[in-house]
Amino acid sequence: MAPMMMKLKLVAIAFGVAQAVTQICADNAAYDGTIKPVSMGGVATCDMATGAVPPFTASAASCAANLTMGGSTMRASMVMGAYAACCKTGGDVCSQYSLNPCATPSDWNPKLTMSGGGDTMGCAHLASTSSAMTASAASCAVSVQVGGSSLKTVVVTAMLANGGCCGATGKSACKAFESNANPCADKTKYMPKNTIDGDAKGTPCSTAMATMEAFVPDKVTCAVSVTVDGKALTRTMAFGGVAPTCCSDKVSICANAGAAKAAVTPTGTKAAGTDVASGAAGASVAKIFFAIVALAPQMLA
């Protein structure tokens, strides 16, 4: 048994729990302590895992605040979201204060799971990184800061919607505010459902492009520097990195624009809406996101 799971078991025994000490589910009757959540590796039962959760009363403020467990701190909604799978209805106590990523709220299915970067997690757990909001240009541009990393809300909603959390045809709540830059020289060659890293379970091109600024390609605009995965790249390099998988002819929007090379990249410039969180090239948005939310279960160790 993995060390974390062994500790969880010992904690549960020490507490002598037959059910969660702290209310986990919005509907307390929906709690099932025998479930083994995928976020726990499918090994620990909910009773084993939730015994370590300190006393907690859910509210908009408390769910957005940090919760300390085992000497570590994390946003309370993320901790509770990790246990959403323990709720037969899929709603944890912080769910009403957490993000509903769907344009049509009733499309939201928090009990579904998504896979990425080798991990599988519930839609509710992933949405717990963000607070409930009314979609607007401003609210969709808000960045979620977790574990030293940043993801814009527009990216979070796009990833969840594209991952099926809003049903087979459901749209993101922030869809109207996505930039959706087309990375292809011939816009008809764009394949938005392909993934930027070639992994069938990776980030769709449409998700990766969600916050990239649309622009008219020429020598100057393609030489502008954007930040991707913490690295400064020219648009020529950034869009060239996704064109092989996102464009059927593999030709990027900057390929024939006479763009300047990296050696003459303007310094101190940055395209609007682009940062390490945009994930338009290089690291997969999904992999970054899963790496962030995967921290929540580890707090139980």
pLDDT of residue 265: 37
Q: In the structure encoding, which two tokens stand for residue 120, read together?
A: 């599988």
Do residues 111 and 28 share a domain?
Answer: no
Query: Quick check: 183 and 237 in contact, CB under 8 A?
Result: no
From 98, 115, 150, give the residue that closes a domain: 98
Do residues 68 and 167 share a domain?
Answer: no
pLDDT of residue 258: 59
Cα 193 vs. chain centroid, distance in angstroms?
17
Do residues 152 and 47 share a domain?
Answer: no
Q: In the structure encoding, which two tokens stand for residue 295, read together?
A: 């921290």
Do residues 64 and 130 share a domain?
Answer: no
Do residues 173 and 201 share a domain?
Answer: yes
Dihedrals phi, psi of 289, to nearest 5 degrees: -65, -45
CA distances for 84 relative to 33, 50, 121, 132, angstroms: 12, 11, 10, 16
pLDDT of residue 250: 92
pLDDT of residue 136: 93
DSSP line for 169-225: S--BTTGGG------BSSGGGB-TTSBTTS-TTS-BHHHHTTTSPP---STTGGG-E
pLDDT of residue 119: 66
Q: In the structure encoding, which two tokens stand for residue 285, read together?
A: 């948005």
Do residues 118 and 7 share a domain?
Answer: no
Residue ranges for the chain with pLDDT beneath 70: 1-21, 38-42, 115-119, 145-149, 198-201, 211, 228-230, 258-301
From 46, 64, 98, give the residue that closes a domain: 98
Q: Which domain holds residue 43?
A: 1-98
Do residues 85 and 210 share a domain?
Answer: no
Number of domains in the chain: 2
From 47, 67, 98, give the residue that closes a domain: 98
pLDDT of residue 22: 84
Do residues 273 and 124 share a domain?
Answer: yes
Q: Indicate the pTM of the whole model.
A: 0.69
Do residues 32 and 129 share a domain?
Answer: no
Do residues 115 and 254 share a domain?
Answer: yes
185: which residues sit within 8 A by CB, 6+ positions away?
217, 247, 249, 251, 252, 253, 255, 256
Do residues 37 and 124 share a domain?
Answer: no
Distance CA 121, CA 76 (A): 17
Do residues 141 and 44 share a domain?
Answer: no
pLDDT of residue 269: 34
pLDDT of residue 288: 52
Residue from 196, 110, 112 nearest 155 by CA: 196
For the chain, the distance separating the N- and C-terminal CA atoms, rounded to the nearest angstrom, is 13
